[in-house]
Amino acid sequence: MDPQMALTWGLLYMALVALCWRPGVTEAQETVPLQTLQCYNDYTERIICSWADTEDAQRLINMTLYRKLEKNYAVSCSLSEDLLWSECPSPHHCVPRRCVIPYTRFSIADEDFYSFRPDRDVGIKLAVPLAQHVQPPPPKDINISPSGDHFLLKWSMPLGDAWVPWLSQEDLQFEVSYKRLQDSWEDAPSLHTSNLWATLEPKLLLPSNTYVARVRTRLSPGSTLSGRPSRWSPEVQWDSQPGDKAQPQNLQCFFDGIQSLTCSWEVRTLMTASASFGLFYRSIPAAPEKECSPVVKELQDSLYTRYHCSLTVSNPSAHSQYTVSVQLRKQGKFIKSYRHIQMDPPTLNVTKDGESYNLRWETKKISYPHIEHKFQVQYKSKLESWEVTKTENLDRAHSMVLPQLLPSTTYMARVRVKTLPDYDGIWSEWSKEYTWTTEWVMPTWGMVI
C-alpha cells in the first residue's frame, strides 16, 4: 500500500472511532417550567395550571404557556405567591405563576398538550462550506525513545478501511509541541514536519528536566482546503460586542475531511435550566431539517455551558454546504384531564339529632354524576391542634354521626373531597371550618339533689 493510500484509509478509521467514542453524552434536560407544570381541573368549567420559571432566566426572556387541543392557544397567567402542586427544583429561585383556563368540554379521551414558548425567536444559524471548515483527526500512538545523543518522537495516523478522496498527504503536516512538565503550554516551542516523526536535538532540551510533548495535525500551506488543526489545546475565550444574552453564541462547525461534521455552541449557564437548545441542520436548502443527536455537554466556566454534536456527512463534496442552527427544542408534556381532578371544597354543616351531633356536607355539582367521591373528615375541640386530630376516611358518604361529645365545649370540623378511581386527582382544599358549641348538660349529682 502506498503512503497516500495508507494515510487516507487512516483518516477514515479515525473518524469512525471518533463517532463511536462519545463521552459525557447527556439527554435533553426537562426545563424548570416543565418540571413544575401541573394542571388540575374541576371537570366542569375550568382548568388551573401552576408553574414557575427561574428568576435568572426571567431577566433574559419571558416564557408563555401554550395549551393544545386542535391547535395551540396561549394561556394567560398571573404571578402567584407559591407553587400549588410542585416544588422549585434546587438550587433555583423560582417565580411561580397561576393560570385559569375556562373549559367545559371535558372528556375521558382528553389529553391536553402543554408547552412553553419564548416571547421572541432566539435561534441562530450558520452556513458551513465543508472545504473551508476542515479539522483533520489527531495523530495517535505517540512515543519517544533515545537515539544516539538525541530523542526520536514518533506517531502514526490510524489505518482505515475505505479510500477517501478528500485528504491527501500533501494536504497535511504535523505540529510538535514540547515543554518541561512544570511549564505552561502557552509558551511551549513547536516544530513543523510532513513526516511521522521528529528529532529533538540536545540543543533544544535543558538537561535534568522532565519534558512532555504532543502532536497535532494541520492543513499544509499548499492545501486547497482550509479549516483548523486537530484538537489538542484549551480553547481561547474573549469578550465580544454585546448582544442578546438569551441567545446561544459561538456556533462553530468543522468537517474532519472524511465524514464527520462537528459543531459546538455556548449557552449562558443561567439559561440552561429554563430553555433546552438543540442543533438542527440541512445538507441542502430543500432538505428537511433534522436534529443532531446526541449532544455532549461540558461546563466551560460559571458563565457559559458548552455543547457539541457530530453529524455524519453521507456524501462529502468540495462544494457541499450544510446549514446548521441552534434552536429551542419543542418540549412539552401530556396531562390527562380525568387523572388530574381537584374538586372544590365541600360545604359543611352540623345538626343535632336527639342526643347526637351529625356532620353533613355537600359537594359542588359536576356535569358527570357517575363520578363517585371519597371524603376525609376531621373534628376536634377548639383548643386542640389539627395536626394531632384523627382523620376519618369515608367513601360515597355525605354525613357522619359524631360520637358522644363533651358538654359545653366548642368543637370545630372540616371535610375535603377526592374522586374515586378510575377518575383520579388530588384532594380538594379543606372546607371552611364549621364551629359549634355543645349544649350544657346537668351533672348527675345535681339531678340526685
| Topology given in CATH for the domain delimited by 32-120 | Immunoglobulin-like (2.60.40)
Q: Which of 14-28, 142-156, 247-261 has the lowest mean pLDDT?
A: 14-28
The pTM of this model reads 0.59
Q: Is the peptide bond before 189 cis (omega within 30 degrees of 0)?
A: no
Which SS3 state, helix, strand or coil, does residue 111 take? strand
Number of H helices, E strands in the chain: 4, 30
What DSSP letter does each residue of 370-402 carry, written as one string? T--EEEEEEEEETTS-GGGS-EEEEES-SEEE-
User: Is-same-fold flag (32-120; 341-447)?
Assistant: yes
pLDDT digit string, tens, across residues 239-282? 334 457 788 877 889 998 888 999 999 888 888 989 999 999 99
Whether domain 341-447 has CATH 3.40.1160.10: the reply is no
pLDDT for 34 beyond 90: yes
d(CA 223, CA 221): 6
Provide the residue ranges of all domains of the chain, joining segments of one domain with +: 32-120, 124-131+236-331, 341-447
Mean pLDDT is lowest, of 64-73, 114-123, 177-186, 368-377, for: 177-186
d(CA 330, CA 117): 8
pLDDT of 8 above 50: no
Non-local CB neighbours of 100 within 8 Å, separated by 6+ positions: 46, 47, 48, 76
Peptide bond into 422 cis (omega under 30): yes
Instruction: Check residue 10 and give its pLDDT.
Output: 40
Q: Which residues of 313-339 are buried (b: 16+ CB within 10 A; e: fewer)?
A: beebeeebbbbbbbbbeebbeebebbb
Q: Which cell goes with 380?
A: 376536634
CATH number of 124-131+236-331: 2.60.40.10
CB atoms within 10 A of CB 413: 22
Instruction: Tell me which residue of 106, 17, 64 sits closest to 310, measured CA to CA.
Output: 17
User: What's the CA gap between 11 and 19, in Å, rounded?
Assistant: 13
Looking at the chain, the whole-number percentage of residues with pLDDT higher than 70 is: 85
d(CA 342, CA 43): 8
Q: What's the mean per-residue pLDDT of the chain?
A: 83
Q: Cell 498527504, residue?
A: 169
pLDDT computed for residue 243 by the predictor? 59
pLDDT tens for 300-331 read 556 778 899 999 988 887 558 899 999 999 88
Reported confidence tier of residue 238, pLDDT bands at 50, 70, 90:
very low
Q: Is the pLDDT of residue 212 over 50?
A: yes
Q: Identify which of 140, 136, 214, 196 has the alpha carbon closest to the alpha carbon of residue 171.
A: 136
